[in-house]
């Protein structure tokens, strides 16, 4: 009986630790808008395709979270993403070329930074720009 209880406790603790380490909190997104950093979101098309949103949020949730650091960035972000949730919204800034083949993501709502590789950045940008063109045509 002790063995079963210890096994269950181990699984629960392992699951909780895995969840807290691997999950970045990007869920419940209703739409995503992409725009170049110097443009406003007013004239941009919102992407509401559930598959595209799931892919983008999946990449964001698997990104490497950077905590306890504050960067002073000398360059402007290449793109900005507006994530619209049910009650609120969030703007993410994509700083391409932050490190060798890496993109730094900063947020207007969070003190954390996130890092993704260039392939993931290209996937996000291509999916959203492709969807934006399809919706606009």
Position 8 in a domain: no
Environment class of residue 121 by beta-carbon count within 10 Å: exposed (0-12), middle (13-18) or buried (19+)?
buried
Position 58 in a domain: yes
Position 9 in a domain: no
Position 90 in a domain: yes
> Is the torsion defined by CA of 28, 69, 77, 98 positive or negative?
negative
DSSP 114: E
Q: In this structure, are residues 108 and 130 in contact, taking their beta carbons and an 8 Å threshold?
A: no
35, β-bridge pairs? 80
Position 85 in a domain: yes
Position 10 in a domain: no
DSSP 63: S
The CATH number of residue 55's host domain is: 2.60.40
Position 31 in a domain: yes
- Give the structural domain span for 65: 27-136
Position 20 in a domain: no
List the chain pLDDT tens, one digit each, 137 residues.
888 888 988 888 887 776 665 567 788 899 999 999 888 888 888 999 999 999 999 999 989 888 888 888 888 899 999 999 999 999 999 998 888 889 999 999 888 899 999 999 999 999 988 766 666 55
């Amino acid at each position: 009986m002790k063995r079963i209880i210890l096994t269950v406790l181990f699984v629960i603790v392992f699951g909780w630790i895995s969840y807290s380490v691997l999950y970045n909190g990007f869920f419940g997104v209703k739409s995503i808008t992409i725009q170049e950093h110097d443009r406003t979101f007013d004239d941009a098309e919102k992407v509401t395709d559930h598959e595209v949103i799931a892919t983008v949020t999946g990449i964001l949730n698997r990104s490497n979270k950077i905590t306890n650091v504050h960067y002073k960035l000398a360059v402007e972000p290449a793109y900005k993403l507006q994530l619209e949730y049910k009650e609120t919204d969030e703007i993410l800034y994509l700083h391409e070329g932050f490190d060798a083949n890496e993109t730094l993501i900063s947020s207007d709502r969070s003190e954390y930074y996130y890092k993704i590789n260039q392939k993931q950045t290209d996937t996000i940008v291509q999916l959203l720009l492709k969807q934006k063109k399809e919706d606009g045509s």
